[in-house]
Amino acid sequence: MSNINNSYVLTDLGMQALGGAPSPRPAATVRAANGTSREEDERLRAACREMESLFLNLLMKQMRSTIDKSDSLIPYSLGQRIAEAMYDSEMTRGLAQKGDVGLAEMLYRQLQREQKRTAGESLVKG
């Protein structure tokens, strides 16, 4: 004889009728303060962190270019340049993820205000 699973699925209305809490909504349907979904909000934050990382990487590259490598005791090789570039890339990505610099947060707030403004304008026009 087969083993039959007698489980039931309750809708949110059914849960409320029984006195239980409704099931949580997916993150994409929950709206952030600026009228965008949480998923869009997180994508904006990630893009701002990536922008901060790129800016910091460019800054490190320019700083390293000021160092005179011709007077070095050991010749500066292609391998060293690649290793430094990889190190700088990972270091700046880590700095951007930690948020210590604050450029990503400033950019995020600015873009979020712009989203609110354009969302408000589209409501007025539409």
For helices 38-65 and 103-125, what crossing angle results, to 10°?
140
> Structural domain boundaries of the chain?
34-125
pLDDT for position 68 = 85
pLDDT of 5-53, one tens digit each? 433 333 444 444 445 554 444 444 445 555 568 898 899 999 999 999 9
pLDDT for position 1 = 44
pLDDT of 89-105, one tens digit each? 999 999 998 988 899 99
Cα–Cα distance, 36 to 46 (Å, whole number): 15
β partners of residue 37:
31
Confidence of residue 70 (pLDDT cuts 50, 70, 90): confident
Q: Name the pTM for this structure.
A: 0.62
Higher pLDDT, 72 or 56: 56
**Look-up of token digits 């809708």:** 11
